[in-house]
């Protein structure tokens, strides 16, 4: 499949996009999710990957290579927008609400928002090496094998990482059952 893409087969590339989009999106989300830019960065990463496909040495490691490309794309995005992210009005915060949610009433919505911020804070508190596997698992529900192929580790390493991360998340969420005032740093905004 990868070889076909290197040979200029665009249909094969569409198949690869479908296969890896969840993982690429989740990776982008790790870096720029708080700015509401995960989808844009994921698209950019696929463009960048397509352009540099001919430089891919080992097609068997396409997943790992794609993750590196995505990280680079996200880092570039952050650099490009660093000035704006510091100064611009971070409004409005993004919150998709279904009709079911709306029935909870405003107080329910606030609780949701607080819960959201608490979960993001718990993920942010993880050691960096655990964050991507956690987001791949909980955001896009990837299997351990899929995560392993994407982060370039063995299945056992992924299992160990998620076990330790699970313990830390459990402890954090238990300790922060009620959100503390002044701790809500996580927000999503849009360009």
40-59 binders of another protein (CB under 8 A): 42-43, 46-47, 50-51, 53-55
Q: Are 36 and 189 in contact (CB under 8 A)?
A: yes
Largest distance between two CA atoms of the chain: 56
Ranges within 8-47 binding another protein (CB under 8 A): 8-10, 13-14, 17-18, 21-22, 24-26, 29, 33, 36, 38-39, 42-43, 46-47
Q: Binding another protein by CB under 8 A: which of 83, 91, 128, 178? A: 91
User: Does 95 contact another protein by CB under 8 A?
Assistant: yes
Ranges within 102-131 binding another protein (CB under 8 A): 102, 105-107, 109-110, 113, 115-116, 119, 122
Half-sphere exposure in the Cβ direction for 118 (13 Å, CA)? 19
Ranges within 56-85 binding another protein (CB under 8 A): none
Between 80 and 94, CB nearer to another protein: 94
User: Does 144 contact another protein by CB under 8 A?
Assistant: yes
DSSP 182: T
- Rounded distance between C-alpha atoms, residue 191 and residue 182, angstroms: 25
- Rounded distance between C-alpha atoms, residue 9 and residue 86, angstroms: 42
Backbone angles phi, psi at 45, to 5 degrees: -65, -40
Distance in Å from the first CA to the final CA of the chain: 35
Using DSSP, how many helices (H) and how many strands (E) does the chain show?
Answer: 10, 0
Shortest Cβ 165–another protein spacing (Å): 8
Shortest Cβ 68–another protein spacing (Å): 18
Choose the stretch contacting another protein; rule: CB under 8 A; options: 61-69, 71-79, 124-132, 136-144. Answer: 136-144
For another protein (CB under 8 A), the number of binding residues is 75
């Amino acid at each position: 499949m990868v070889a076909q893409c290197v040979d200029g087969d665009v249909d094969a590339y569409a198949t690869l996009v479908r296969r890896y989009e969840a993982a690429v999106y989740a990776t982008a989300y790790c870096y720029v999710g708080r700015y509401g830019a995960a989808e844009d960065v994921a698209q950019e990463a696929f463009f960048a990957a397509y352009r540099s496909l001919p430089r891919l040495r080992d097609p068997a490691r396409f997943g790992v290579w794609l993750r590196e490309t995505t990280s680079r794309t996200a880092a570039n995005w952050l650099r490009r927008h660093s000035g704006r992210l510091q100064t611009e009005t971070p409004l409005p915060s993004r919150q998709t609400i279904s009709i079911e949610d709306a029935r909870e009433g405003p107080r329910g919505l606030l609780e949701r928002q607080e819960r959201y911020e608490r979960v993001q804070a718990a993920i942010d508190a993880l050691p960096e090496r655990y964050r991507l596997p956690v987001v791949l698992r909980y955001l896009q529900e990837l299997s351990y094998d899929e995560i392993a192929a994407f982060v370039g580790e063995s299945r056992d390493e992924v299992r160990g990482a998620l076990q330790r991360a699970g313990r830390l998340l459990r402890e954090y969420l238990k300790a922060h059952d009620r959100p503390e005032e002044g701790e809500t740093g996580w927000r999503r905004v849009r360009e």
